[in-house]
């Protein structure tokens, strides 16, 4: 028995902005638990701690809660891109896309002939959708190109114009680093306004979608007004530590008031993320 089709991310984006949640830790039970709160899941196979088995499990969990899964791959190599597409995810996101030439190479890796040269035979797509999963009349995974350098932003119009590129995604961290901003300090208000607008304008002109990381109400309103739709609004690596700290500090304060402890403990030697 086969499924009719995968979650159609493209159709959902046509309806309006979608709020996504990032998964960087290999704890896919979180997707099952909080799935109804979000519109899609961003599964980070680049900087997250997920190997192939973890990514596959995360895509399956996303299927279970009926939310599209977008897998960020580590780089531009065709092999890993094809392997991640064979998880039956709804899209792959590729980092550090700076030129139209790179985008065309990614289309060859991510799309079936005649547009590209993606290899046929993914075990999970065949199991779920049947051997016709590659047919042009079936919903196909989207290719999302990350624009996260000054050169990439400058070339956004030509990247978006490449046939087979479905969306541009603004990446703030690498852009900030390349603009000389310290990674451990708040960024100046409006520092990316020009780049956000240029990426959104390039996507709109080419009839493509655009996305980015927008985690506060004010910035989200600004992004949606520009036309951004594929939005990462939070992630496990942000939400869990913040909630943990808030809860532990509140309860330690309660103990301190009772004279049981002096107060919140100092952080240990682990990282600050």
**Closest to 42 measured CA to CA, from 126, 128, 190, 142:** 142
Q: Supply the DSSP symbol for 272.
A: -
> ∠ CA(69), CA(228), CA(157), 5° rounding?
100
Q: Active site residue: 5, 33, 47, 205, which one?
A: 47
Question: How is 186-237 classified by DSSP, letter by letter?
Answer: PPPTTTTHHHHHHHHHHHHHHT-EEEEE--SHHHHHHHHHHT--EEEEEEHH
The conformational region for residue 114 under phi > 0 = left, psi -120 to 50 = alpha, else beta, is: alpha
SS3 40: strand
For residues 23 and 2, is the Cβ–Cβ distance under 8 A? no
- Alpha-carbon torsion (7, 166, 205, 155), positive or negative: positive
For residues 20 and 34, is the Cβ–Cβ distance under 8 A? no
Decide if 47 is catalytic.
Answer: yes
**Closest to 165 measured CA to CA, from 210, 125, 197:** 210
List residues with catalytic annotation.
47
């Amino acid at each position: 028995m086969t499924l009719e089709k995968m979650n159609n991310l493209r159709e959902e984006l046509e309806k309006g902005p979608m709020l996504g949640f990032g998964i960087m830790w290999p704890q896919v039970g979180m997707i099952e638990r909080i799935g109804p709160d979000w519109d899609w899941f961003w599964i980070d196979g680049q900087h997250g701690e997920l190997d192939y088995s973890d990514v596959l499990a995360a895509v399956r969990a996303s299927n279970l809660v009926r939310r599209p899964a977008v897998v960020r791959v580590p780089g531009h190599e065709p092999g890993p891109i094809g392997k991640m597409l064979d998880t039956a995810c709804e899209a792959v996101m590729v980092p550090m896309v700076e030129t139209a030439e790179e985008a065309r190479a990614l289309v060859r890796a991510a799309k079936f002939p005649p547009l590209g040269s993606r290899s046929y035979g993914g075990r999970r797509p065949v199991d779920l959708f049947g051997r016709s999963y590659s047919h042009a009349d079936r919903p196909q995974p989207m290719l999302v190109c990350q624009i996260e350098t000054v050169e990439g932003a400058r070339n956004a119009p030509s990247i978006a114009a490449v046939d087979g590129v479905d969306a541009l995604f603004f990446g703030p961290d690498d852009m900030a680093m390349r603009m000389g901003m310290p990674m451990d300090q708040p960024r100046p208000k409006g520092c990316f306004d020009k780049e956000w607008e240029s990426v959104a304008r390039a996507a709109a002109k080419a009839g493509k979608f655009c996305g980015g990381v927008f985690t506060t109400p004010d910035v989200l309103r600004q992004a949606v007004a520009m036309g951004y739709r594929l939005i990462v609004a939070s992630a496990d690596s942000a939400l869990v530590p913040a909630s943990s700290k808030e809860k532990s500090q509140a309860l330690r304060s309660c103990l301190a008031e009772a004279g049981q402890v002096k107060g919140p403990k100092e952080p240990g030697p682990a990282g600050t993320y």
